[in-house]
């Protein structure tokens, strides 16, 4: 299998961190240069119609896009360690928290960076300061909410690492491009980020 990825992009990193926590080493990582438009070629669009990364290409040529869908497929192939739930309730609870992490933290962080960082102007051709400001406000509000959730536990969903932690980490680390990271205003999130840095996922370069 081949995973098409790109440096600094949070959605591909979500998958590469998932692979790292699983200990999977037999998926080939193919790095695309987004600045050069390698994701917009006809050949790549045949694999990913909307030029999305990550894209997972199976050995038979079939392809999957969307990081959550790719992780679901990988979870079925590499069952341990379990990162997406071991029984019906746990699977649903993890999916609930994963949606919260994605929509309330990672997406606002991504939109803040994409619309507010001049280094991404070539990729985000219609950058909007208003969109950046609105998403920054949402991201900071939700960072404090998630910080409060971590006051009584080590991980975001349940008592062990799950895909939820990887989803949140992908967005939070992407916000470094706008010079933000968990600090003394979010002490539990800061502690959680330090703990994640020592795990296989934390070793995956952005």
Query: Rounded to the nearest 5°, which phi and psi values hold at 55?
Result: -130, 130
**What is the structure's pLDDT at 35?**
83
Query: Rounded to the nearest 5°, which phi and psi values hold at 105?
Result: -120, -60
**What is the structure's pLDDT at 169?**
97
Q: Could you report the per-residue pLDDT of 140-174, keeping only the tens digit for each?
A: 999 999 999 999 999 999 899 999 999 999 999 99
Q: Could you report the per-residue pLDDT of 19-60, keeping only the tens digit for each?
A: 999 999 999 999 999 888 899 999 999 999 999 999 999 999
In the three-class reduction of DSSP (H, G, I as helix; E, B as strand; rest coil), residue 31 is classed as strand
**What is the structure's pLDDT at 122?**
79
Query: Rounded to the nearest 5°, which phi and psi values hold at 189?
Result: -65, -35
Euclidean distance between CA atoms 168 and 102, whole angstroms = 7
Euclidean distance between CA atoms 175 and 155, whole angstroms = 20
**What is the structure's pLDDT at 138?**
97
pLDDT > 70 fraction of the chain, expressed in percent and rounded: 100
**What is the structure's pLDDT at 205?**
81
**What is the structure's pLDDT at 7?**
85
Euclidean distance between CA atoms 97 and 164, whole angstroms = 6
Q: Could you report the per-residue pLDDT of 68-120, keeping only the tens digit for each?
A: 999 999 999 999 999 999 999 999 999 999 999 999 999 999 999 999 999 88
Reported as half-sphere exposure (CB side, CA atoms, 13 A), residue 6 has a value of 18
Strand partners for 5: 31
**What is the structure's pLDDT at 114?**
94
Q: How confident is the model at residue 175 (pLDDT cuts 50, 70, 90)?
A: very high
- Helices (H) and strands (E) counted in the chain, each on its own, are 8, 4
Q: Using CA atoms in the order 84, 85, 91, 95, what is the torsion angle rounded to 10 degrees?
A: -30
Nearest C-alpha neighbor of 67 from the set 166, 190, 180, 205: 166
Query: Rounded to the nearest 5°, which phi and psi values hold at 65?
Result: -120, 180
Question: Could you tell me the pTM of the whole model?
Answer: 0.95
Question: Taking all residues of the chain, what is their mean pLDDT, rounded to a whole number?
Answer: 95
**What is the structure's pLDDT at 164?**
98
Could you give the domains of the chain? Answer: 2-77 (3.40.30.10), 88-203 (1.20.1050.10)
């Amino acid at each position: 299998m081949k995973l098409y990825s790109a440096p600094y992009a949070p959605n591909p990193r979500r998958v590469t961190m998932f692979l790292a926590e699983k200990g999977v080493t037999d998926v080939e990582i193919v790095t695309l240069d987004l600045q050069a438009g390698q994701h917009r070629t006809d050949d790549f669009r045949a694999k990913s119609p909307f030029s999305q990364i990550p894209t997972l290409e199976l050995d038979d040529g079939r392809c999957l896009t969307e990081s959550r869908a790719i992780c679901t497929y990988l979870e079925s192939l590499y069952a341990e360690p379990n990162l997406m739930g071991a029984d019906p309730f746990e699977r649903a609870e993890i999916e609930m928290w994963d949606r919260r992490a994605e929509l309330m933290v990672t997406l606002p962080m991504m939109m803040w960076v994409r619309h507010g960082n001049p280094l991404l102007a070539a990729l985000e051709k219609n950058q909007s300061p208003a969109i950046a400001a609105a998403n920054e406000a949402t991201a900071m509000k939700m960072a404090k909410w998630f910080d409060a959730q971590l006051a009584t536990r080590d991980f975001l969903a349940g008592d062990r690492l799950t895909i939820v932690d990887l989803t949140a980490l992908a967005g939070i680390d992407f916000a470094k491009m706008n010079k933000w990271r968990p600090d003394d205003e979010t002490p539990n999130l800061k502690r959680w980020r330090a703990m994640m840095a020592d795990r296989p996922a934390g070793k995956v370069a952005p």
